[in-house]
Protein backbone atom coordinates (compact mmCIF):
# COMPACT_ATOMS: atom_id res chain seq x y z
CA UNK A 1 0.00 0.00 0.00
CA UNK A 2 1.44 3.37 -0.94
CA UNK A 3 2.51 5.85 1.65
CA UNK A 4 5.15 8.51 2.08
CA UNK A 5 6.45 10.34 5.14
CA UNK A 6 4.26 13.40 4.90
CA UNK A 7 1.41 12.42 2.68
CA UNK A 8 0.06 9.48 4.54
CA UNK A 9 -2.36 7.14 2.91
CA UNK A 10 -3.39 4.54 5.43
CA UNK A 11 -5.01 1.24 4.84
CA UNK A 12 -7.53 1.06 2.03
CA UNK A 13 -10.78 2.80 2.91
CA UNK A 14 -13.30 0.73 1.00
CA UNK A 15 -16.37 -0.65 2.74
CA UNK A 16 -15.21 -4.20 3.32
CA UNK A 17 -11.81 -5.31 4.43
CA UNK A 18 -9.86 -6.86 1.59
CA UNK A 19 -8.75 -10.46 1.96
CA UNK A 20 -5.22 -9.18 2.40
CA UNK A 21 -6.26 -6.83 5.18
CA UNK A 22 -8.15 -9.54 7.00
CA UNK A 23 -5.07 -11.74 6.85
CA UNK A 24 -2.90 -8.92 8.11
CA UNK A 25 -5.38 -8.20 10.87
CA UNK A 26 -5.30 -11.81 11.97
CA UNK A 27 -1.52 -11.83 11.78
CA UNK A 28 -1.25 -8.76 13.96
CA UNK A 29 -4.12 -9.21 16.37
CA UNK A 30 -4.09 -12.95 16.55
CA UNK A 31 -7.13 -15.09 17.07
CA UNK A 32 -10.25 -12.99 16.81
CA UNK A 33 -11.86 -14.54 19.89
CA UNK A 34 -9.10 -13.10 22.06
CA UNK A 35 -10.99 -9.83 22.22
CA UNK A 36 -13.48 -9.62 25.09
CA UNK A 37 -17.06 -8.86 24.19
CA UNK A 38 -18.51 -5.49 24.87
CA UNK A 39 -21.59 -5.72 27.01
CA UNK A 40 -24.40 -6.61 24.59
CA UNK A 41 -26.34 -3.91 26.37
CA UNK A 42 -24.42 -1.22 24.48
CA UNK A 43 -25.37 -2.69 21.12
CA UNK A 44 -28.97 -3.03 22.31
CA UNK A 45 -29.03 0.61 23.33
CA UNK A 46 -27.71 1.69 19.95
CA UNK A 47 -30.47 -0.30 18.29
CA UNK A 48 -33.14 1.03 20.65
CA UNK A 49 -32.20 4.66 20.09
CA UNK A 50 -32.70 4.20 16.34
CA UNK A 51 -36.39 3.41 16.98
CA UNK A 52 -38.33 6.68 17.25
CA UNK A 53 -41.04 5.03 19.36
CA UNK A 54 -38.61 4.18 22.16
CA UNK A 55 -38.77 6.37 25.27
CA UNK A 56 -36.28 7.30 27.96
CA UNK A 57 -37.46 4.85 30.56
CA UNK A 58 -37.25 1.94 28.13
CA UNK A 59 -33.66 2.77 27.20
CA UNK A 60 -32.95 3.34 30.88
CA UNK A 61 -34.17 -0.16 31.63
CA UNK A 62 -31.97 -1.68 28.95
CA UNK A 63 -28.82 -0.10 30.37
CA UNK A 64 -29.80 -0.86 33.95
CA UNK A 65 -29.94 -4.58 33.20
CA UNK A 66 -26.15 -4.44 33.33
CA UNK A 67 -25.66 -3.06 36.83
CA UNK A 68 -21.92 -2.58 36.59
CA UNK A 69 -22.29 -0.68 33.34
CA UNK A 70 -25.12 1.45 34.73
CA UNK A 71 -23.03 2.35 37.76
CA UNK A 72 -20.01 3.28 35.67
CA UNK A 73 -22.15 5.31 33.28
CA UNK A 74 -23.67 7.26 36.16
CA UNK A 75 -20.19 7.99 37.49
CA UNK A 76 -19.32 9.54 34.16
CA UNK A 77 -22.62 11.42 34.05
CA UNK A 78 -21.94 12.92 37.44
CA UNK A 79 -18.27 13.66 36.87
CA UNK A 80 -17.28 17.31 37.04
CA UNK A 81 -16.81 17.53 33.32
CA UNK A 82 -20.55 17.66 32.95
CA UNK A 83 -20.52 20.41 35.50
CA UNK A 84 -23.91 20.17 37.13
CA UNK A 85 -23.69 19.88 40.93
CA UNK A 86 -26.91 17.95 41.31
CA UNK A 87 -26.25 14.21 41.37
CA UNK A 88 -28.21 12.13 38.89
CA UNK A 89 -29.13 8.80 40.43
CA UNK A 90 -30.69 6.79 37.71
CA UNK A 91 -30.18 6.23 34.03
CA UNK A 92 -33.69 7.27 32.99
CA UNK A 93 -33.22 10.64 34.64
CA UNK A 94 -29.82 10.97 32.97
CA UNK A 95 -31.49 10.41 29.61
CA UNK A 96 -34.16 13.01 30.36
CA UNK A 97 -31.56 15.57 31.38
CA UNK A 98 -28.86 14.81 28.81
CA UNK A 99 -30.60 13.08 25.94
CA UNK A 100 -30.28 9.59 24.42
CA UNK A 101 -27.14 10.20 22.44
CA UNK A 102 -25.13 11.62 25.31
CA UNK A 103 -26.05 8.76 27.61
CA UNK A 104 -25.38 6.17 24.91
CA UNK A 105 -22.01 7.76 24.34
CA UNK A 106 -21.18 7.65 28.02
CA UNK A 107 -22.26 4.02 28.31
CA UNK A 108 -19.94 3.26 25.43
CA UNK A 109 -17.15 5.17 27.13
CA UNK A 110 -17.76 3.38 30.41
CA UNK A 111 -17.52 0.01 28.68
CA UNK A 112 -14.27 0.87 27.00
CA UNK A 113 -12.68 2.64 29.96
CA UNK A 114 -11.77 -0.58 31.72
CA UNK A 115 -9.45 -1.50 28.89
CA UNK A 116 -7.35 1.61 29.48
CA UNK A 117 -6.69 0.68 33.08
CA UNK A 118 -3.97 -1.85 32.29
CA UNK A 119 -1.13 -1.92 34.81
CA UNK A 120 1.35 -3.32 32.28
CA UNK A 121 4.56 -1.36 32.18
CA UNK A 122 5.09 -2.01 28.50
CA UNK A 123 3.04 0.92 27.27
CA UNK A 124 1.89 4.33 28.49
CA UNK A 125 -1.82 3.55 28.81
CA UNK A 126 -2.50 6.62 30.91
CA UNK A 127 -0.82 8.76 28.26
CA UNK A 128 -3.01 7.26 25.56
CA UNK A 129 -6.13 7.85 27.66
CA UNK A 130 -5.14 11.48 28.15
CA UNK A 131 -4.50 11.88 24.42
CA UNK A 132 -7.89 10.28 23.72
CA UNK A 133 -9.62 12.56 26.20
CA UNK A 134 -7.81 15.59 24.76
CA UNK A 135 -8.97 14.62 21.29
CA UNK A 136 -12.51 14.16 22.56
CA UNK A 137 -12.51 17.64 24.06
CA UNK A 138 -10.88 19.10 20.96
CA UNK A 139 -13.47 17.46 18.73
CA UNK A 140 -16.37 18.84 20.75
CA UNK A 141 -14.83 22.33 20.95
CA UNK A 142 -14.17 22.32 17.22
CA UNK A 143 -17.63 21.02 16.35
CA UNK A 144 -19.22 23.81 18.40
CA UNK A 145 -16.91 26.44 16.89
CA UNK A 146 -17.90 25.56 13.33
CA UNK A 147 -21.54 25.02 14.35
CA UNK A 148 -21.38 21.45 13.11
CA UNK A 149 -24.35 19.13 13.08
CA UNK A 150 -22.04 16.56 14.71
CA UNK A 151 -21.69 18.25 18.10
CA UNK A 152 -23.43 15.40 19.92
CA UNK A 153 -21.14 12.65 18.67
CA UNK A 154 -17.89 14.60 18.48
CA UNK A 155 -16.80 13.80 22.01
CA UNK A 156 -17.21 10.05 21.92
CA UNK A 157 -15.70 9.84 18.44
CA UNK A 158 -12.62 11.73 19.57
CA UNK A 159 -12.42 9.58 22.67
CA UNK A 160 -12.39 6.31 20.75
CA UNK A 161 -10.46 7.30 17.62
CA UNK A 162 -7.26 5.53 18.74
CA UNK A 163 -8.90 2.43 20.13
CA UNK A 164 -6.92 0.40 17.61
CA UNK A 165 -3.71 1.26 19.46
CA UNK A 166 -5.28 -0.02 22.65
CA UNK A 167 -6.26 -3.27 20.99
CA UNK A 168 -2.71 -3.80 19.76
CA UNK A 169 -1.16 -2.82 23.07
CA UNK A 170 -3.31 -5.34 24.93
CA UNK A 171 -3.73 -8.18 22.45
CA UNK A 172 -0.89 -7.94 19.96
CA UNK A 173 1.98 -7.26 22.29
CA UNK A 174 4.77 -8.62 20.09
CA UNK A 175 3.64 -6.77 17.00
CA UNK A 176 3.07 -3.63 19.02
CA UNK A 177 6.50 -3.84 20.61
CA UNK A 178 8.05 -4.02 17.14
CA UNK A 179 6.01 -0.99 16.06
CA UNK A 180 7.09 0.98 19.13
CA UNK A 181 10.73 0.09 18.58
CA UNK A 182 10.48 1.30 15.01
CA UNK A 183 8.89 4.57 16.19
CA UNK A 184 11.61 5.04 18.80
CA UNK A 185 14.51 4.34 16.43
CA UNK A 186 13.24 6.37 13.50
CA UNK A 187 11.22 9.07 15.29
CA UNK A 188 8.26 8.63 12.95
CA UNK A 189 4.52 8.54 13.40
CA UNK A 190 3.13 5.28 14.74
CA UNK A 191 1.09 5.19 11.54
CA UNK A 192 4.29 5.08 9.45
CA UNK A 193 5.74 2.28 11.55
CA UNK A 194 2.52 0.26 11.31
CA UNK A 195 2.37 0.58 7.53
CA UNK A 196 6.08 -0.16 7.13
CA UNK A 197 5.98 -3.30 9.25
CA UNK A 198 2.49 -4.68 8.76
CA UNK A 199 0.78 -2.72 6.00
CA UNK A 200 -2.26 -2.09 8.18
CA UNK A 201 -2.76 0.82 10.58
CA UNK A 202 -4.37 1.36 13.95
CA UNK A 203 -7.36 2.93 12.20
CA UNK A 204 -8.12 -0.36 10.53
CA UNK A 205 -7.62 -2.32 13.74
CA UNK A 206 -9.86 0.08 15.60
CA UNK A 207 -12.55 -0.05 12.94
CA UNK A 208 -12.47 -3.82 13.00
CA UNK A 209 -13.04 -3.76 16.76
CA UNK A 210 -15.80 -1.20 16.31
CA UNK A 211 -17.52 -3.58 13.91
CA UNK A 212 -17.07 -6.53 16.27
CA UNK A 213 -18.62 -4.52 19.05
CA UNK A 214 -21.38 -3.18 16.79
CA UNK A 215 -20.54 0.46 17.33
CA UNK A 216 -22.54 2.88 15.18
CA UNK A 217 -21.15 2.87 11.64
CA UNK A 218 -20.33 6.56 11.75
CA UNK A 219 -18.04 5.93 14.72
CA UNK A 220 -16.33 2.99 13.02
CA UNK A 221 -15.66 5.06 9.90
CA UNK A 222 -14.18 7.94 11.88
CA UNK A 223 -11.91 5.51 13.72
CA UNK A 224 -10.82 3.98 10.46
CA UNK A 225 -10.17 7.18 8.55
CA UNK A 226 -8.99 9.79 11.03
CA UNK A 227 -5.50 9.66 9.44
CA UNK A 228 -6.87 9.36 5.93
CA UNK A 229 -9.89 11.67 5.85
CA UNK A 230 -9.76 12.28 2.11
CA UNK A 231 -10.78 8.68 1.53
CA UNK A 232 -14.13 9.27 3.25
CA UNK A 233 -17.16 8.63 1.04
CA UNK A 234 -19.70 9.37 3.77
CA UNK A 235 -19.79 10.91 7.26
CA UNK A 236 -17.17 13.41 6.08
CA UNK A 237 -17.95 16.02 8.69
CA UNK A 238 -17.30 13.88 11.76
CA UNK A 239 -14.28 12.24 10.13
CA UNK A 240 -12.81 15.64 9.26
CA UNK A 241 -13.45 16.93 12.77
CA UNK A 242 -11.70 13.89 14.29
CA UNK A 243 -8.75 14.36 11.93
CA UNK A 244 -8.28 17.96 13.03
CA UNK A 245 -8.98 17.29 16.70
CA UNK A 246 -6.24 14.65 16.82
CA UNK A 247 -3.75 17.11 15.33
CA UNK A 248 -4.75 19.95 17.67
CA UNK A 249 -4.46 17.68 20.67
CA UNK A 250 -0.95 16.62 19.63
CA UNK A 251 0.07 20.22 18.89
CA UNK A 252 -1.06 21.17 22.40
CA UNK A 253 0.98 18.27 23.84
CA UNK A 254 -1.97 16.73 25.65
CA UNK A 255 -1.24 13.14 26.60
CA UNK A 256 0.80 10.66 24.58
CA UNK A 257 -0.41 9.01 21.38
CA UNK A 258 2.71 6.85 21.21
CA UNK A 259 4.84 8.97 18.92
CA UNK A 260 6.43 12.42 18.84
CA UNK A 261 5.40 13.81 15.47
CA UNK A 262 2.58 15.96 14.19
CA UNK A 263 0.72 14.51 11.20
CA UNK A 264 0.09 16.68 8.15
CA UNK A 265 -3.29 18.39 8.31
CA UNK A 266 -5.30 17.68 5.18
CA UNK A 267 -5.79 20.80 3.10
CA UNK A 268 -9.08 19.39 1.82
CA UNK A 269 -10.33 19.07 5.39
CA UNK A 270 -9.12 22.54 6.38
CA UNK A 271 -11.03 24.09 3.47
CA UNK A 272 -14.11 21.89 3.87
CA UNK A 273 -14.52 22.86 7.53
CA UNK A 274 -13.74 26.49 6.65
CA UNK A 275 -11.06 26.72 9.31
CA UNK A 276 -8.83 29.69 9.91
CA UNK A 277 -6.16 30.81 12.37
CA UNK A 278 -8.63 32.74 14.53
CA UNK A 279 -10.90 29.73 14.95
CA UNK A 280 -7.95 27.48 15.79
CA UNK A 281 -6.64 30.02 18.28
CA UNK A 282 -9.89 30.27 20.20
CA UNK A 283 -10.41 26.51 20.02
CA UNK A 284 -7.02 25.95 21.60
CA UNK A 285 -7.93 28.21 24.50
CA UNK A 286 -11.17 26.30 25.04
CA UNK A 287 -9.47 22.92 24.73
CA UNK A 288 -7.13 23.67 27.62
CA UNK A 289 -10.07 25.02 29.63
CA UNK A 290 -12.01 21.85 28.87
CA UNK A 291 -9.07 19.73 29.90
CA UNK A 292 -8.88 21.46 33.28
CA UNK A 293 -12.58 20.84 33.83
CA UNK A 294 -12.22 17.20 32.83
CA UNK A 295 -9.91 16.33 35.70
CA UNK A 296 -12.50 13.88 37.02
CA UNK A 297 -12.46 12.06 33.71
CA UNK A 298 -8.72 11.59 34.03
CA UNK A 299 -9.10 10.39 37.59
CA UNK A 300 -11.50 7.68 36.47
CA UNK A 301 -8.48 5.80 35.24
CA UNK A 302 -7.23 5.23 38.78
CA UNK B 1 -28.07 40.76 45.89
CA UNK B 2 -29.41 41.20 42.38
CA UNK B 3 -31.42 39.39 39.77
CA UNK B 4 -29.60 38.45 36.56
CA UNK B 5 -30.51 36.64 33.37
CA UNK B 6 -29.39 33.00 33.25
CA UNK B 7 -27.26 33.73 30.19
CA UNK B 8 -25.28 36.35 32.12
CA UNK B 9 -24.02 33.86 34.69
CA UNK B 10 -20.24 33.98 35.24
CA UNK B 11 -17.93 31.57 37.05
CA UNK B 12 -17.75 32.28 40.77
CA UNK B 13 -21.08 34.04 41.21
CA UNK B 14 -22.89 32.84 44.34
CA UNK B 15 -26.62 32.17 44.55
CA UNK B 16 -28.54 34.36 46.97
CA UNK B 17 -31.72 32.37 46.45
CA UNK B 18 -32.38 28.74 45.62
CA UNK B 19 -33.19 27.86 42.01
CA UNK B 20 -36.18 25.71 41.18
CA UNK B 21 -37.19 24.15 37.87
CA UNK B 22 -40.58 24.70 36.30
CA UNK B 23 -41.99 21.83 38.39
CA UNK B 24 -40.91 23.45 41.63
CA UNK B 25 -38.07 21.02 42.29
CA UNK B 26 -34.96 22.56 43.84
CA UNK B 27 -32.05 22.44 41.38
CA UNK B 28 -29.50 24.55 43.25
CA UNK B 29 -29.35 25.86 46.81
CA UNK B 30 -28.68 29.28 48.31
CA UNK B 31 -24.93 29.67 48.59
CA UNK B 32 -24.09 27.37 45.66
CA UNK B 33 -21.30 28.68 43.41
CA UNK B 34 -22.29 29.13 39.80
CA UNK B 35 -20.35 28.22 36.66
CA UNK B 36 -20.83 29.31 33.07
CA UNK B 37 -21.33 25.66 32.16
CA UNK B 38 -24.62 25.67 34.09
CA UNK B 39 -26.21 28.15 31.71
CA UNK B 40 -27.42 25.72 29.06
CA UNK B 41 -28.62 23.26 31.68
CA UNK B 42 -30.57 25.90 33.60
CA UNK B 43 -32.07 27.09 30.35
CA UNK B 44 -33.07 23.52 29.54
CA UNK B 45 -34.90 23.43 32.89
CA UNK B 46 -36.72 26.65 31.96
CA UNK B 47 -34.87 28.89 34.41
CA UNK B 48 -34.67 32.39 32.94
CA UNK B 49 -33.32 34.36 35.90
CA UNK B 50 -31.34 33.73 39.06
CA UNK B 51 -30.63 35.85 42.12
CA UNK B 52 -26.96 36.22 42.99
CA UNK B 53 -25.00 37.91 45.74
CA UNK B 54 -22.99 41.05 45.17
CA UNK B 55 -23.33 44.44 43.54
CA UNK B 56 -23.57 45.57 39.92
CA UNK B 57 -20.22 44.30 38.65
CA UNK B 58 -18.69 40.93 39.51
CA UNK B 59 -15.33 41.34 41.30
CA UNK B 60 -12.52 39.12 40.16
CA UNK B 61 -9.61 38.32 42.48
CA UNK B 62 -7.01 40.10 40.38
CA UNK B 63 -7.15 42.66 37.60
CA UNK B 64 -6.75 41.03 34.17
CA UNK B 65 -3.58 42.99 33.51
CA UNK B 66 -1.88 41.70 36.64
CA UNK B 67 -2.90 38.14 35.76
CA UNK B 68 -1.40 38.51 32.27
CA UNK B 69 1.93 39.68 33.64
CA UNK B 70 2.19 36.77 36.03
CA UNK B 71 1.46 34.42 33.12
CA UNK B 72 4.37 35.72 31.03
CA UNK B 73 7.12 34.84 33.49
CA UNK B 74 8.90 31.75 32.13
CA UNK B 75 12.71 31.32 32.44
CA UNK B 76 14.43 31.62 29.02
CA UNK B 77 16.02 28.13 29.21
CA UNK B 78 12.59 26.58 29.77
CA UNK B 79 11.11 28.55 26.92
CA UNK B 80 13.95 27.46 24.62
CA UNK B 81 13.53 23.83 25.59
CA UNK B 82 9.82 23.92 24.90
CA UNK B 83 10.28 25.68 21.54
CA UNK B 84 12.92 23.14 20.51
CA UNK B 85 10.56 20.29 21.39
CA UNK B 86 7.69 21.85 19.46
CA UNK B 87 9.86 22.56 16.43
CA UNK B 88 11.05 18.97 16.40
CA UNK B 89 7.50 17.64 16.52
CA UNK B 90 6.57 19.75 13.52
CA UNK B 91 9.83 19.07 11.62
CA UNK B 92 8.25 16.81 8.98
CA UNK B 93 5.49 19.23 8.09
CA UNK B 94 7.15 22.61 8.52
CA UNK B 95 7.36 23.26 4.77
CA UNK B 96 3.59 23.68 4.68
CA UNK B 97 2.54 27.27 5.52
CA UNK B 98 -0.66 25.97 7.10
CA UNK B 99 1.30 23.79 9.52
CA UNK B 100 3.76 26.61 10.16
CA UNK B 101 1.05 28.96 11.39
CA UNK B 102 -0.58 26.12 13.32
CA UNK B 103 2.74 25.59 15.05
CA UNK B 104 3.02 29.27 15.92
CA UNK B 105 -0.46 29.35 17.43
CA UNK B 106 0.07 26.11 19.34
CA UNK B 107 3.44 27.30 20.65
CA UNK B 108 1.80 30.40 22.06
CA UNK B 109 -0.72 28.28 23.98
CA UNK B 110 1.79 25.67 25.15
CA UNK B 111 4.16 28.36 26.44
CA UNK B 112 1.36 30.24 28.18
CA UNK B 113 0.24 27.04 29.89
CA UNK B 114 3.80 26.24 30.94
CA UNK B 115 4.20 29.75 32.30
CA UNK B 116 1.02 29.45 34.32
CA UNK B 117 2.17 26.13 35.75
CA UNK B 118 5.59 27.58 36.55
CA UNK B 119 4.04 30.59 38.26
CA UNK B 120 1.78 28.39 40.34
CA UNK B 121 4.41 25.84 41.46
Let me know if residue B58 belongs to a domain.
no
**Looking at the 3D structure of chain B, how many domains does it have?**
2
Task: Report the pLDDT averaged over residues A45-65.
Answer: 82
Selection from A101, A117, A135, A110 nearest residue A291 by Cα: A135
- ipTM score over 0.90, yes or no: no
Confidence of residue A36 (pLDDT cuts 50, 70, 90): low
Nearest CB to B98; choose among A86, A250, A270: A270
Contact B92 A267 (CB under 8 A): no
Q: Does residue B90 sit in the same domain as residue B45?
A: no
Q: Does residue B72 sit in the same domain as residue B39?
A: no
Let me know if residue B40 belongs to a domain.
yes
Min Cα–Cα distance to chain B from A90, Å: 16
Nearest CB to A265; choose among B86, B99, B105: B99
Which pLDDT does position A1 carry in this prediction?
32
Query: Percent of chain A beyond pLDDT 70?
Result: 87
Q: Does residue B44 sit in the same domain as residue B72?
A: no
A85 contacts in chain B (CB < 8 Å): 28, 32
Which pLDDT does position B55 carry in this prediction?
67
Q: Which CATH number covers residue B11?
A: 3.90.105.10
Which pLDDT does position A140 carry in this prediction?
95
Mean pLDDT of chain A: 84
More confident of the two residues B100 and A170: B100
pLDDT digits (tens, 9 = 90+) for A61-91: 888 888 888 888 888 888 755 666 678 888 8
Q: Does residue B46 sit in the same domain as residue B73?
A: no
Q: Does residue B77 sit in the same domain as residue B115?
A: yes
Q: Does residue B29 sit in the same domain as residue B75?
A: no
Let me know if residue B57 belongs to a domain.
no
Let me know if residue B88 belongs to a domain.
yes
Confidence of residue A300 (pLDDT cuts 50, 70, 90): low
Burial B58-81 (b: 16+ CB within 10 A, else e): eeeeeeeeeeeeebeebeeeeeee
Per-residue DSSP letter, A80: G
Let me know if residue B95 belongs to a domain.
yes
pLDDT digits (tens, 9 = 90+) for A239-279: 999 999 999 999 999 999 999 999 999 999 999 999 999 99
Let me know if residue B113 belongs to a domain.
yes
Q: Are A62 and A45 in contact (CB under 8 A)?
A: yes
Q: Where are the alpha helices (DSSP H) in chain B?
A: 38-44, 64-71, 76-89, 97-119
Q: Does residue B42 sit in the same domain as residue B71?
A: no
Query: Is it the case that residue A220 has pLDDT exceeding 80?
Result: yes
* Domains defined along chain A, listed by start: 19-299 (1.10.3210.10)
Q: Does residue B113 sit in the same domain as residue B68?
A: yes
Q: Are A132 and A159 in contact (CB under 8 A)?
A: yes
Structural domain span for residue B34: 2-52
Min Cα–Cα distance to chain A from B57, Å: 24
Contact A262 B41 (CB under 8 A): no
Min Cα–Cα distance to chain B from A16, Å: 32
- Weakest-pLDDT range from A8-12, A44-48, A123-127, B115-119: A8-12
Best to test chain B binding among A7, A86, A191, A289 (most B CBs inside 10 Å): A86
Residues 6+ apart with CB under 8 A from B26: B18, B19, B20
Query: Is it the case that residue B62 has pLDDT exceeding 60?
Result: no
Selection from A99, A174, A162 nearest residue A132 by Cα: A162
- Relative to beta strand B2-5, strand B26-28 is unpaired
Let me know if residue B59 belongs to a domain.
no
Q: Does residue B115 sit in the same domain as residue B74?
A: yes
Q: Does residue B18 sit in the same domain as residue B44?
A: yes
Q: Are B65 and B44 in contact (CB under 8 A)?
A: no
Which pLDDT does position B59 carry in this prediction?
47
Residue A200 to residue A208: CA distance in whole angstroms: 11
Q: Does residue B41 sit in the same domain as residue B70?
A: no
Contact A6 B101 (CB under 8 A): no
- Weakest-pLDDT range from A6-10, A81-85, A289-293, B29-33: A6-10
Q: Are A243 and A227 in contact (CB under 8 A)?
A: yes
Query: Is it the case that residue B25 has pLDDT exceeding 50?
Result: yes
Q: Does residue B74 sit in the same domain as residue B105?
A: yes
Which pLDDT does position B60 carry in this prediction?
47
Query: Is it the case that residue A215 has pLDDT exceeding 90?
Result: no
Let me know if residue B98 belongs to a domain.
yes
Which pLDDT does position A164 carry in this prediction?
92
pLDDT digits (tens, 9 = 90+) for A125-160: 889 989 999 999 999 999 999 999 999 889 989 999
Task: Report the pLDDT averaged over residues B83-103.
Answer: 96
B30 contacts in chain A (CB < 8 Å): none
Residue A220 to residue A298: CA distance in whole angstroms: 24
Amino acid sequence: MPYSENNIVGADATEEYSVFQTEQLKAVVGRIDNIPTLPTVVAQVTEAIRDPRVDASHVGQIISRDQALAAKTLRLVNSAFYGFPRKINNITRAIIVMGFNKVRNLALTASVLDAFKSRDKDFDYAGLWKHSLGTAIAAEVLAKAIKSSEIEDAFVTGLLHDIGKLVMALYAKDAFARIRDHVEKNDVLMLNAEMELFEIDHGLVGAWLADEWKFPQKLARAIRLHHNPEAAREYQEIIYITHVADILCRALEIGNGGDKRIPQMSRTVWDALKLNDTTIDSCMTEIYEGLDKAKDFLDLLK
Amino acid sequence: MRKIQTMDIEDGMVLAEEVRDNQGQVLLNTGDKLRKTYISKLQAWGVKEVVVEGKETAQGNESPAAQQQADNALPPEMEERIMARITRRFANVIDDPLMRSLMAIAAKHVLARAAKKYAGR
